[in-house]
Amino acid sequence: MRSFKAIFKKQLKDTIKNPAILIQFIIFPIIAFVINHLVTNMYGVTEEALANMPNQVTMQAGIFAGMGLIMVPMGIIAEDMDKKSLRFLTMAGVKPMSYLLGISGVILVAALCSSLAFTVIGGFTGMDFWIFLAAMMSGVVASIVLGSTFGLLAGNQQAASALSFPAAVIIGFGPMIAQFSDDVARVMHVVYTQHFNVIADYLNFGVSDAPLWHSFAIMWGNVAVLLVLFALVFRRKGIVG
Amino acid sequence: MTSVSMKNVQKSFGKNHVLKGVSFETQESEIFGLLGPSGSGKTTIINILTKQLGVDDGECYVSVGSNEIGLMLEHDGLFARLSCADNLHVFREIYGMPRKNVDEVLKKVGLYEAKKTGADKLSKGMRQRLVIARAILHKPKILFLDEPTSALDPVTARGIYKLIHELRDGGSTIFLTTHNMEEATNLCDRVVMLHDGKIIEQGNPKEICERYNAIKTMHDLESVFIQLTGGGLK
């Protein structure tokens, strides 16, 4: 618990002072706000047309949860491994799990703040507010686990960047590409970002092909599979670097 | 009492046989120097003793657990964006030490005035002192220092020597590596000379100099080393 608290505080201070990480939590809600504002105030757009448009906020929120947040834990872990800070922590007696939970805890709190911003900008209230927040946090948890796995695999910042970008683009933009290709849609059907979109579509248009719990189950199934993957990589590669 | 020991330790990296039957032991409350040129196996020995590396053969022993060891390694491992004090607070909290320890140790290494300065804004000498502060924060029984004064100006280096003597006098065992023979002569109670993965000489630095008559000219371990190996240190 002492180690977890120490890592959590360290990461909180570091995140506040690290623009490259901090921007990930700020930029997506800002983009969502700007685009939402522009679309809803577009000259000549009718109420009916607006109602049929996809919600820009959920689109940005999906990219944030599916893409931005993969890069955050990966960047943090790779930097700590690269600069050998992690070596000093583990040699001081910090258990790998305390380190990872401390790092993830800060990302989770920051992502919760961003998610709340998305819900406010998107105007979700009542039950929709909770459904949206639950979908966001499910995606966030999956992305943190995936990002941490990539962080362990990469081991240094350069390799982390090389790994992160294509993976984040595929997972983040996959649901959009799936709209134009049945083959991609079949693959994306088992990926958590696709089901974030399914839930978002339900919130936007009030319709869904399957019950919502089905999408939540797949998202948390993703989390379980990713945790197993993480454990395998962790056993093979360790964390010291 | 023995603090750290190695018995006939062998270590290879692929075809590179780095340690070829290294044996030595250090006693409590002494400054023990591991001397040798770059690539002689000094850092490998520290990595083995701090359990970052395993051995291929032989035995090694460290009398205390990892939370009673202080480390200053090749890489400083500082959190660049955190201040000096915050860097230390991370480890203070891990070790469960009171907050006042951070200020005390910062005063000891002469960094108290710079406690709010980011680690990335420090000069090389100040970073080195911060690393030493982190290493001694929890009052370790054994302190491993890998090249503690490399690339430091003489004034900063002297400050670090003073600190090392104080720590030894306080009961800690100091295990340091260096290729600076003058530093070893002035600082260490005992030294081991390492060359090509083998120990070629060990004992009190002044006694070694006397044994090889180097003392006739000056306290010069380097001339002993050259006499033994036919090569320089750098």
pTM of the model: 0.82
CB pairs under 8 A between A and B: 68
> Tens digits of per-residue pLDDT, A12-42?
999 999 998 899 899 999 998 898 888 777 7
B72, closest residue in chain A (CA to CA)? A88
Q: Does A14 touch chain B (CB under 8 A)?
A: yes
B121 DSSP 8-state letter: G
Out of A31-40, A140-149, A213-222, B169-178, least confident range: A31-40
Interface of B with A (CB under 8 A): 50-52, 66-67, 69, 71, 73, 75-82, 86, 89-91, 93-96, 118, 134
Q: Which of the two residues, B139 and A54, has the higher pLDDT score?
A: B139
> Tens digits of per-residue pLDDT, B136-173?
998 899 999 988 887 677 877 888 888 889 889 988 99
pLDDT tops 80 at residue B65: yes
A7 interaction partners in chain B (CB closer than 8 Å): 90
At residue A198, the pLDDT reads 85
Q: Phi, psi (5° rounding) for residue B61?
A: -140, 135
Out of A207-216, B15-24, B137-146, least confident range: A207-216
> DSSP string of A78-89?
HHHHHTTHHHHH
Q: Which of the two residues, A217 and B228, has the higher pLDDT score?
A: A217
Mean pLDDT of the residues in chain A: 85
* Interface predicted TM-score of the whole assembly (ipTM), two decimals: 0.81
Q: For residues A10 and B82, is the Cβ–Cβ distance under 8 A? A: yes
Q: Quote the CA–CA distance of B45 and A227 in Å, as a whole number.
A: 36
A87 interaction partners in chain B (CB closer than 8 Å): 52, 73, 75, 77
Count the domains in chain A: 1
Q: For residues B130 and B109, is the Cβ–Cβ distance under 8 A? A: yes
pLDDT tops 70 at residue A54: no
pLDDT tops 70 at residue B214: no
At residue A45, the pLDDT reads 73
Instruction: Give me the mean pLDDT over the A139-153 stretch.
Output: 89
At residue B190, the pLDDT reads 92
Contact yes or no for A88 and B79 at CB 8 A = no
B50 interaction partners in chain A (CB closer than 8 Å): 91
At residue A96, the pLDDT reads 83
Nearest to B91 by CA among B108, B104, B78: B78
Q: Identify the helix (H) or strand (E) that includes residue B35.
A: strand B31-35
In this prediction, residue A188 has a pLDDT band, given cuts at 50, 70 and 90, of confident
**Interface mutation target, options B50, B87, B90, B121, chain A, most CBs of A under 10 Å:** B90
Percent of chain B with pLDDT over 70: 94
Question: A148 is in which domain, residue-wise?
Answer: 2-237
pLDDT tops 90 at residue A241: no
At residue A176, the pLDDT reads 80
The most confident of the ranges A49-58, A201-210, A232-241 is A201-210
